Amino acid sequence: MTVLPYADALAAYDPVLGLEVHVELNTTSKMFCGCSTAFGAEPNTQVCPVCLGLPGSLPAVNAKAVESAIRIGLALNCTIAEWCRFARKNYFYPDMPKNYQISQYDEPIAYDGWTEVVLDGEIYRIGIERAHMEEDTGKSLHVGGATGRIHGADYSLLDYNRSGVPLIEIVTKPVEGTGAKAPEVARAYVTMLRDLLRTLGVSDVRMEQGSLRCDANVSLRPVGRSTFGTRTETKNVNSLRSVERAVRYEITRQAAILASGGRVTQETRHWHEDSGITTPGRNKETAEDYRYFPEPDLVPIAPSREWVEELHATLPEPPTARLKRVRAEWGFSELEMRDVVSAGAVNAIEATVAAGATPQSARKWWLTEIARHANEEGVDLEAVGVTPQQVAEIQALVENGTINDKLARQVFEGVIAGEGSPAEVVTARKLAIVSDEGALAAAVNEAINANPDIVDKIKSGKVQATGALIGSVMKQMRGQADAARVREMILEKIG
């Protein structure tokens, strides 16, 4: 697949984005039945006649899911419909038990809103087309074939535990005017949405578990043109990083086609995390006709003004206002805050600070040690495997002198490797700083005796040579010593 270098693509073409985000709500029970939504259960243990689509079963709407949908709509500055309905979206697919999805069609519960994302200090306003309610599908496991993928599989195995989990689909209006920043704006938008949804408390927003999923629509038009080009819809974009990479890839791929005089095919494409490319989905020659019609098993929803007002009062502060506030509270510089936002670490830092760490130490760990792991594994910060609580604990261990920054990195390794809590890792790996003065004194003596030349240098006034002796002591102590105390002892001894 030929692609155009990104700079060349952007010189000739103006990208337009459209983002569709599916959010699984964290309600106790499913959208239309009383089965649990808990993640990770044994296959087919959270299903009933309703979510299994058995003949005769009927859906019943979860009030909490509607409430969450309205709160999401309000948080995205949408109009809340005075009257709306569910509709059936008909198509056959084995992971969808009824062979129709209960969704909303031309009557979404929330529509015509907007939100803002901050990128490199600049504010981008994103229009929200709609936010509507629907239900999730089951999950298939493909058996046989070379890769375990759907293509080439011999057969598939279906687990319907996710079937019927409430989903909110949030669709943006076309996002224009982002230029070369399009991939980053896409990522910043999904990050903002994730943080907002978490603050609303309506979803676990764990992309790696599929509770937040993004489909990215990308089209290009020649610079200066106002009509939209043909778009593609890239599915399966399952991390914040991938959102940015997938959009960037599509821009370069479509640019190559357009630059060579070709035409972009309107199609669904699939993002491949490993190879970093998109490939076409099923041939849309036999385009699905979803035959939408109002769901006759359910009655309309007409949220009262009072209810909507009541829910409005429960909203957290808007994201941009929040960023302004936390920057002031944390005392971060403009630049520091920018890095924090683009790393998607605002919520993590907030939670770490809440757990007792200072803002600067929280920022340090999330943007260095944890970010490094996230990058190496190609996952988002949250998926690295350290909780804000644990970060605060590690920082507390540093501050009370149990470990130092260098040892703290090993504690992170241990926690990420699943060796237990920070304290457990310190014990198991024997990382605590040695505060036994006798052992320390012995090591200092040995260092002094082994390096007479250095001792002479220090005595002659070259105090900076102390570093070499400190290094020797630290080596003997396997790093588990307080460097400041070691320096003190050396200077005392040499006097």
* Interface with other proteins in residues 65-104 (CB under 8 A): 65-66, 83, 88, 90, 92-94, 97-100
Q: Residue 59 Cβ, how far from Zn ion at the closest point, in Å?
A: 10
Nearer to Zn ion, 35 or 425 (CB): 35
Q: Which does 169 bind (CB under 5 to 8 A by kind): other proteins, Mg ion, Zn ion, none?
A: Mg ion
- The reply on whether position 50 binds Zn ion by CB under 5 A is yes
β-pair partners for 227: none
Q: Which of 298, 371, 396, 483 binds other proteins (CB under 8 A)?
A: 298
* Interface with other proteins in residues 388-417 (CB under 8 A): none
The H-or-E segment that residue 9 falls in is helix 6-12
Backbone angles phi, psi at 354, to 5 degrees: -60, -30
Which residue, among 428, 363, 368, 421, has the nearest Cα to 397 in the 3D structure? 421
Which residue, among 242, 204, 189, has the nearest Cα to 382 in the 3D structure? 204
* Interface with Mg ion in residues 164-203 (CB under 5 A): 169
* Interface with other proteins in residues 31-70 (CB under 8 A): 33-36, 42-49, 52-66
Query: What is d(CA 469, CA 454) in angstroms, rounded to the nearest whole number?
Result: 8
- The reply on whether position 141 binds other proteins by CB under 8 A is yes
Q: Is 147 left (phi over 0), alpha (psi -120 to 50) or beta?
A: alpha
- The reply on whether position 303 binds other proteins by CB under 8 A is yes
- CA 408 from chain centre, in angstroms, equals 25
Q: Residue 210 Cβ, how far from other proteins at the closest point, in Å?
A: 15
Nearer to other proteins, 59 or 113 (CB): 59
In one-letter notation, the amino acid at residue 193 is: L
- The reply on whether position 135 binds Mg ion by CB under 5 A is no
* Interface with other proteins in residues 230-249 (CB under 8 A): 235
| Polymer length in residues for the chain | 495
Choose one: 63-71, 122-130, 162-170, 253-261; the region binding Mg ion (CB under 5 A).
162-170
Q: Which of 293, 335, 368, 459 binds other proteins (CB under 8 A)?
A: 293
Q: Which does 62 bind (CB under 5 to 8 A by kind): Mg ion, other proteins, Zn ion, none?
A: other proteins
Q: Which of 33, 165, 175, 212 binds Zn ion (CB under 5 A)?
A: 33
User: Residues near 388 by Cβ (< 8 Å), separated by ≥ 6?
Assistant: 348, 349, 351, 352, 354, 355, 362
Q: Which of 17, 19, 23, 27 binds other proteins (CB under 8 A)?
A: 27
DSSP line for 374-429: HHHHT--GGGSS--HHHHHHHHHHHHTTSS-HHHHHHHHHHHHTT--SHHHHHHHT
β-pair partners for 280: 269
Backbone angles phi, psi at 42, to 5 degrees: -55, 145
Choose one: 26-34, 144-152, 192-200, 294-302; the region binding Zn ion (CB under 5 A).
26-34
Report CA dihedral (257, 258, 260, 264) to the nearest 10 degrees. Answer: 40
- The reply on whether position 451 binds other proteins by CB under 8 A is no
Which residue, among 200, 204, 195, has the nearest Cα to 167 in the 3D structure? 204
Which residue, among 114, 144, 146, has the nearest Cα to 127 in the 3D structure? 114
Choose one: 161-169, 325-333, 400-408, 470-478; the region binding Mg ion (CB under 5 A).
161-169
Nearer to Mg ion, 169 or 380 (CB): 169
* End-to-end Cα, the chain, rounded Å: 70
DSSP line for 108-162: -SEEEEEEEEEETTEEEEEEEEEEEEEE---EEEEESTTTSSSTT-SEEEEE-TT
Q: 216 with 17: CB under 8 angstroms?
A: yes
CA distances (Å), origin 145, targets 154, 155, 207, 269, 454? 6, 9, 27, 21, 67
- The reply on whether position 250 binds Mg ion by CB under 5 A is no
CA distances (Å), origin 248, targets 22, 217, 244, 371? 21, 12, 6, 21
> For the window 346-385, what string marks contact with other proteins as x by the rule CB under 8 A?
----------------------------------------
The structure tokens listed for 419 are 């060796």
What is the total count of residues that contact other proteins (CB under 8 A)? Answer: 77
Q: Residue 237 Cβ, how far from Mg ion at the closest point, in Å?
A: 15
The structure tokens listed for 161 are 């535990």
> For the window 244-283, what string marks contact with other proteins as x by the rule CB under 8 A?
------------------------x-x--------xxxxx
Q: Which does 478 bind (CB under 5 to 8 A by kind): Mg ion, other proteins, Zn ion, none?
A: none
Q: Which of 1, 5, 28, 121 binds other proteins (CB under 8 A)?
A: 28
- The reply on whether position 1 binds other proteins by CB under 8 A is no
Nearer to other proteins, 15 or 108 (CB): 108
* Interface with other proteins in residues 147-176 (CB under 8 A): 149-151, 153-160
Nearer to Mg ion, 169 or 369 (CB): 169
Residues within the interface to Mg ion (CB under 5 A):
169
Q: List residues binding Zn ion (CB under 5 A).
A: 33, 35, 48, 50-51
